[in-house]
Structure 1
Amino acid sequence: MLGAIEAGGTKFVCAVGDEDFKIIERVSFATTYPEETLQRVFDFFDTYPQVKAIGIGSFGPIEVNKQSQKYGYITSTPKTNWRNFNFLGEMKKQYSIPIGWTTDVNAACLGEYKVGSAADDHSCIYLTVGTGIGGGAIVKGEIIEGFGHTEMGHIIIRSHPDDDFDGFCPYHKNCLEGLAAGPSIEKRYGIKAENLDANHKIWEILAYYLAQALVNYTLILRPEKIILGGGVMNQVRMMDLVKKEFSFLLADYVETPDLDAYIVTPSLRDNAGITGGLILARQAL
């Protein structure tokens, strides 16, 4: 039996599954203080002593460099209660089993790569567009990491001509996340994204920003598939708008697969991250 944790800034999901990554049981609860949240994690896994390994996909930034003294930490997160918290260390104090460690979006990317929308591909990018924007990339089975993990949501992009919003990112203001994540809509109009009309101009503006990012990722990594998840992408027009803007901005400079096969939604839906955690646990063994 394998265990998985999808540690999000808003909620934690814990699950156990079998060797084929089929989820047997999953629970979710709010992300509060570290001690309180981890106690609920322990309460769940303590009922499954047969778990042989756990995979963790965590909100971040996190330290993934094994040579760092802070390997396993959540580092410069805006969630101040979790800043510089030794997440992996606390887990290892509780459980003497292999534990895999990566970002939440890397875990989702891994799930989609192995058993989801990119199961037939050798490379893919997973981008989630919700409360924040984060991305992971896999090439030939390996998650792309170097000195640290990717931060695809914080690339700098050019503003839409009809958008005078300065951005809400506390670090960069008008980065991709600052301009296109869900909270940017509420900051602009004082209304949540799900309450805006499908024909509102904002959807074209967000598509313009996301398409810029996808063009950049395409030119740098040349993936076989790009998977777009997160709450903002639930807006019915978004995929078509993003593809239209992507095609215009790329301007046929390089070849990509057919756009309907290239820019897709996650087939695992809300289970992408937790499935990736199970796969990470299996790899840790």
Structure 2
Amino acid sequence: MLYGSIEAGGTKFVCAVGDETLEILHRESFPTTNPEQTMKDVVAFFKPYEEQMAGIGIGSFGPIDIHEDSPTYGFITSTPKVAWQNFDFVGMMKREFSVPIAWTTDVNAAAYGEYRFGHGQDVDSVVYYTIGTGVGGGAIQKGRFVEGFSHPEMGHMLVVPHVDDSYKGNCPFHGNCLEGMAAGPAIEKRLGKKGADVPETDPFWLIEAEYIAQCVYNTTLMLSPDVIILGGGVMKQTHMLEKVRKAFTKLMQGYVQTPPLATYIVTPALEDNAGTMGCLALAQKVACSTEK
């Protein structure tokens, strides 16, 4: 019995197959181009495993429709990626594979991976952010995603511009939201080079850390989670975590007592595997629930 994982990101799709213990047996990635080409690659990846496949978990870039009673359930909806707007992702996969499919956002999938196998083990409440090409957030409370009329869009919370930052923001909808001020493209447009090429000593990183700390501050006061996990390419700058913790402490001013920051504000224990492991676990979960 095998399980499939599709981590559908804005720049690439990562597909994987895992066994009953969720050990990854095979993984490949494909560029996110248009649905015709990308989904052709996805289907070709899974076809050799079709007879053994018990379930598939999909974590997709969004916005997506998560409500099973909706006529557009399983669709990518109003995404800025024009070719993918109103794409029936789940419907297309069900036409190719007769297995139960779990469907959520890419960042929810990563949050679930950490909840099951990473820093979220043995706690009730987990919030996961990815800070990279875009910014997204997912929250889990006692094994369930926190969502209502739709999934959260935490990456678009407004942040207060830093006093030393004249940049107006890269988000076409909100300007100075978290994504508009702190995502990878905002760094590149502000500084003229990618974040990976900005030295650790550049004072900009203190500005970046304050924006991320505002996110952690807002999340702390709204959800009081047990742990906040900061993933994505920006947080691969190893010096950033301590800068964020210091900026958060300054913002909070002791108003609430959080768990120790060394365990409260962390980077993913699963590193780049969080999304894949989350999708595999969701595939296993939906397969087991369907069998009952």
- Measure the CA separation in 2 of the matches of 1:7 and 1:142: 21
1:85 counterpart residue number: 87
Q: Give the residue type in structure 1 aligned to 2:37.
A: E
1:68 aligns with 2:70: yes
Does the residue aligned with 1:16 lie in a helix, a strand or coil? strand
Q: Give the residue type in structure 1 aligned to 2:43.
A: F
2:290 counterpart residue number: none
Q: Give the residue type in structure 1 aligned to 2:272.
A: D
2:186 counterpart residue number: 184
What is the CA-CA distance between 1:52 and the residue it aligns to? Answer: 0.6
- Measure the CA separation in 2 of the matches of 1:106 and 1:165: 30
1:117 counterpart residue number: 119
Give deviations 1:107-128, integer Å, cap 9, x for gaps: 0000000011111211111101
What is the CA-CA distance between 1:67 and the residue it aligns to? Answer: 2.5
2:48 counterpart residue number: 47
1:234 to 233, 236, 247: 236
1:149 aligns with 2:151: yes
1:270 counterpart residue number: 272
CA contact (8 A) 1:215 1:246 kept: yes
Q: Give the residue type in structure 1 aligned to 2:190.
A: R
Q: Give the residue type in structure 2 aligned to 1:9.
A: G
Q: Give the residue type in structure 2 aligned to 1:237.
A: H
Q: Give the residue type in structure 1 aligned to 2:262.
A: D
CA contact (8 A) 1:134 1:152 kept: yes
- Measure the CA separation in 2 of the matches of 1:3 and 1:168: 35
Q: Give the residue type in structure 1 aligned to 2:71.
A: Q
Aligned identity (percent) is: 55
Compute the TM-score of the two structures, normalised by the length of structure 1.
Answer: 0.98
1:99-248, aligned counterparts within 5 Å? 99-248=101-250
Does the residue aligned with 2:48 lie in a helix, a strand or coil? coil
- Measure the CA separation in 1 of the matches of 2:139 and 2:164: 31
Q: Give the residue type in structure 2 aligned to 1:104.
A: D
- Measure the CA separation in 1 of the matches of 2:154 and 2:39: 28
- Measure the CA separation in 2 of the matches of 1:209 and 1:67: 37
1:95 counterpart residue number: 97
Compute the TM-score of the two structures, normalised by the length of structure 2.
Answer: 0.96
What is the CA-CA distance between 1:20 and the residue it aligns to? Answer: 2.1
What residue ranges of structure 1 are gaps of 5+ in the alignment? none
- Measure the CA separation in 2 of the matches of 1:138 and 1:178: 25
Does the residue aligned with 2:76 lie in a helix, a strand or coil? coil
- Measure the CA separation in 1 of the matches of 2:63 and 2:252: 30
Give deviations 1:188-242, integer Å, cap 9, x for gaps: 1211111111111111111111111111111111100011111101112210110
2:282 counterpart residue number: 280
- Measure the CA separation in 1 of the matches of 2:235 and 2:152: 21
Q: Give the residue type in structure 1 aligned to 2:4.
A: G
Does the residue aligned with 2:87 lie in a helix, a strand or coil? coil
Q: How many aligned positions are there?
A: 285
- Measure the CA separation in 2 of the matches of 1:250 and 1:22: 40
Give deviations 1:111-164, integer Å, cap 9, x for gaps: 000011111211111101000000101011111111100111000111100001
CA contact (8 A) 1:198 1:236 kept: no
- Measure the CA separation in 1 of the matches of 2:221 and 2:21: 34
1:4 counterpart residue number: 5
- Measure the CA separation in 2 of the matches of 1:9 and 1:182: 13
C-alpha RMSD of the superposition:
0.8
- Measure the CA separation in 2 of the matches of 1:163 and 1:25: 45
2:39 counterpart residue number: 38
Give deviations 1:52-85, integer Å, cap 9, x for gaps: 1000000111111222221111111111111111
